[in-house]
Each structure stands twice: as structure tokens, then as C-alpha cells.
Structure 1
């Protein structure tokens, strides 16, 4: 069982594998801030649908070495290195929130290896033509992304103490978010199982450093390094219509450009409703892969 994999450029990636060891492989790319222990379908579900779930800490998070200046597109090399180390030729990829653009990068760059990809409550590129990028976004996120985009040094200076506060008390992040959560989201994150999973996730994400989060935000607001219109594999774009952290208009923009996109809009759902949708999304990811 690998818990670390070394990339071709010498970095270590911390990986966790759950579900059916002989099941069909699905990479799950975590949110921001996040880690390999982030929210996932229950083990019983993974066994029932014959899934081997692979999650890992993006560079700078948890137990993975940092890759300064990384772009969204760089994820494809890391996922390829993990798949090679695990002896996987073909696999599906899912990404939630900050992980969603990274899942799209894998689909764009590895059409011969990625069977299907799912992007849940994700973002569109910062330079998306014809999209009002900040429309419908909660003030805290507008502030965070605008600062990352226009004044990265100030963004870094602000995120370091914030990360330290969350590291000493991960519930602080949920409390901070609570003001902007919809009723549906508030209901989901107050579920004890989900709440403890999220707290463990944030704690692990920032355990060693704030730089996973910093590099994620800079990558998401910078040049992604690929064009979603180039994706040739089937993609599901899942979004809650009431999401204020990454507005549903971002998925609509992507759906209009990705040739084989299936767009699913949950009318009453918001950002954390993606956690409830994961089992359904996994069934779709595995629907056309031969056993």
C-alpha cells in the first residue's frame, strides 16, 4: 500500500486509497482548502459499486511537498505519476469545488487515460469570455479571489494568519462560512458526520503550511494552462443553483464549451449539496467503464 508517491521531479505526494481494492479506480480531487481525507462517499457505497477511490493531497497541502508557482494544468502530471505508481492505465476523475478545474485539466490532458470526468460546484477560468466571473458570489470569496488576482503578496500576507487560526481551531472556518451559507448548506454542514469530516479535512490541509491553499487560489485565478473546449472525454458538470461560493453560471459557461458535457443543476442545492450528490456522480462516472 503506497501512502507516498514520488513525482518525476522528486516531490512526494501523500495518497490515500479507500473502497474496494479490486474496484474500478476513481481519483477524487479535493476542494480548497482540502486534503486526501476530505468528504467522500461512505466505504459501504464504494464497495457496493465496486470503486477503488484514490485521493491525495495537492502540493503544499497535508503530507504533499509544495510546488511553488503551480498552475491548474500541472495536476495532470501528478495524477499520471500516481496512476503509474498504482499500475492504473485507465481511470475516472472527479473534483469538487477547487478540485473541479483540476479534474477538467486531467480530462483535457489525458484523453487516452481518463474515461469520464466530473466537476462539481467548480469555477470557470478567470478570463472566461462573456462570463461575469464575480456575479452571484459571496462577498468573502469575491474579496479573496480579487486579492489573489490583483495583489498576490497581500493575499499571501492575509492567508498565513488565517490558516494559523484554522489550524488551531478548524471549526473557525465553518463558523466564518456560516454567515454566507444557505439554509440547505447550513443543514448539511451541521450533520455530525459531515461536520467532523470537514473539520478533519481542514486540519489536515493546513497541518504543515498554508501554501497548498495559497497556491490553489493563485492557480485558480491565474492562467489554467489549458482550454476546457479541448476536452474530448465525457464530462459531468454538477452544480447547486443557489451556490454563492462558486456560482452556477460558471458551470453553465463550461457546459456551453465542453463538447461532451452533461450539465446537472440542482434547483434547491447550494455549495455543500455536492457532498450529497457524490454517490450519484460516481455511478455516472462508472456507467460506461467495462468491468
Structure 2
């Protein structure tokens, strides 16, 4: 069974979004929200799992990433409008929302604001900036500097991310771990020794910045700004997954989200990091996906 080719979907406001479907055509729908930075191609990390579970996995590149038109000023909640348009175009009704890393907040936004969303799984997802935690404690130095600059905003911050985007357009699989520097600890370094995993992430980075660094710029602004919803307002089933060895999104974020979202299931993995959480826990993730489908 082969995955479908990417396609461009024109939205009501004239923007386009890059979309690709993986897994089992016609199966229960899962919408995947990629990380920051990233693009729809990172969904390949879950494509085989989707096929095993009989799911159709729809991936898209958020506004400003890949071939998707930028949407400056977007909030986290803005994604719900885009997902509604994509669902209409693709003929998708009810769905499960799954987000990894920077995609976690967007997955939760769908659970909070889209009646068609039947639940969400946040995989190493970031918490709101105003959460009552030390937001950057435990992050690698690169993330601390990046989000500190995002809070200030302005031309210098945006230029620094555009410069990074230019460099990441050339990254190859064997270079991914080194390119992430202090953002990866031993579990993630080991996960990136797998050639397929490293190449999928390298491809995702290259795709993300194919046109510019605008997607990451707008993601960062959205994360440190008002999200447009409160996690405590979510009334759908949610699982919050995180690893204690994560240097990109520390476990304090997952703990806070799990405590704030009513009846959320907290899945804590002491030995996992940011990448290894999604690559080494396929059996558990498959069980989680099936549990949503059976309810």
C-alpha cells in the first residue's frame, strides 16, 4: 500500500496548505500536527504505525512551512480554522488530533475548539508560556535563547531564525544530531543513530524551510503569546505523553498540561527524550490510538 502524493489545498482566504495522506485510505482519520520546525514529511515517522492500526493519517505543513502560505500573526488556535477547511476538502468528518512537540498545542487547540475532534494525543508538547512553571528550566541552551528572543520579537529575532533556516535547508541525516546541539541527550542521540529516523527528520527540516523561516518565526510568536484557548477548557479525551530526558520540551510542560486538562491521561516515560518518545514507543502509541477508536 503506497501513501498518496502531497497536494496543495486552497483555503477560503486564498492561502494554500501542503497536505499529504498516509496509512489506510478510508480508515478512521488521524490528523498529525508536526513539530517546530517541521513539515508534513515528519509524519513518515508514524506512517507504518498508521497502516498497522488501519488508520488514515493526514499530515499538513502549518502556515509558513514547506509550500504552505505564511499567516503572520496567527495564534495557536488559528489552526482550527485551517483544519476545518482541510477536512471539508478531503471529506473528513470526526477525527483524532495528534501533535508532536510544537504540534502538541495545535492538537490540543483542535480538541478544545473543533466539535469534530474526538480527542487528542500530545507527544512532548509545549505548555502555554503563562503556565505556572519555570517555562525554560531544563531546556537546552539553544531553546532558552530562542524563546527569550521570541518574547522580545522584532527584526533581530526574525533575522536570526531566517539565518538558521538557511543553514537547515542543507542538513542531511547523519548531521541531524549535531545540528540539534544541546537539545538532544543520550536517548535522542541513540534514536538518531537510526538512519531512517535521522533522514526523515532531515527531510522534514529541509522541507520546512524550503521557502523561508516564516513558519518557525510565527510558531515561536504563537507559543509565547496568547494561545486563544485554555487547556482546562478541553472536554474531550486527551493523553499527554512526555519523557524525562527531553531537552527540547522538559517534562514539567507535560506534567502541567496533564494536571490542567480535565481527566487527561498522563503517560510519563523516564528514559525517553524528545525524538525517542515518538520512535521507540510505537507499541504503546498503537495501543493509545486503538483505545480512542474503541470509545
TM-score class, shorter? over 0.9
Q: Which moved more, 1:17-26 or 1:268-277?
A: 268-277
**Which of 238, 245, 250 is equivalent to 1:235?**
238
TM-score, structure 2 normalization: 0.92
Matched, 1:221 2:224: yes
Q: CA deviation at 1:288?
A: 3.8
**Aligned match of 1:253:** 256
Question: Which string of whole-angstrom CA distances, capped at 9 and with x for unpartnered residues, describes residues 128-155 of structure 1?
Answer: 1x21111111111010001001233321
TM-score (norm: length of structure 1): 0.94
Q: Using the TM superposition, give the Cα deviation of residue 44 of structure 1 relative to its aligned residue in structure 2, in angstroms.
A: 4.1
Q: How far apart, in 2, do the equivalents of 1:133 and 1:224 lie?
A: 15
- Residue 121 of structure 2 corresponds to which residue in structure 1? 118
| 1:51–1:279 distance in 2 versus 1, CA, 3 Å | farther
Alpha-carbon distance in 1 for matches of 2:39, 2:50? 19
Aligned mates of 2:230, 2:78 — CA distance in 1:
13
From 155, 160, 163, the counterpart of 2:162: 160
- Unaligned segments of structure 1, at least 5 residues: none
Matches of 1:176 and 1:43, distance apart in 2: 25
Look up the SS of the partner of 2:59 in the other structure. Answer: strand
Task: Confirm or deny that 1:15 pairs with 2:19.
Answer: yes
What SS class does the counterpart of residue 4 from structure 1 fall into? strand
Number of residue pairs aligned between Structure 1 and Structure 2 = 289
Whole-angstrom distance in 2 between the partners of 1:53 and 1:134: 32
Question: Where does 1:64-103 land on structure 2 (aligned, <5 Å)?
Answer: 64-103=68-107
Task: Give the distance between the partners of 1:99 and 1:204, measured in 2 at CA.
Answer: 16
Superposition deviation, residue 43 in structure 1? 4.2
Match of 2:284 in 1: 280
5+ residue gaps, structure 2 = none
1:92-145: per-residue Cα shift (whole Å, max 9, x none)? 0100001000100010001x21112001111110111x2111111111101000
Tell whether the 8 Å contact from 1:39 to 1:198 is kept in structure 2 after alignment.
no
RMSD between superposed Cα atoms in Å: 1.8
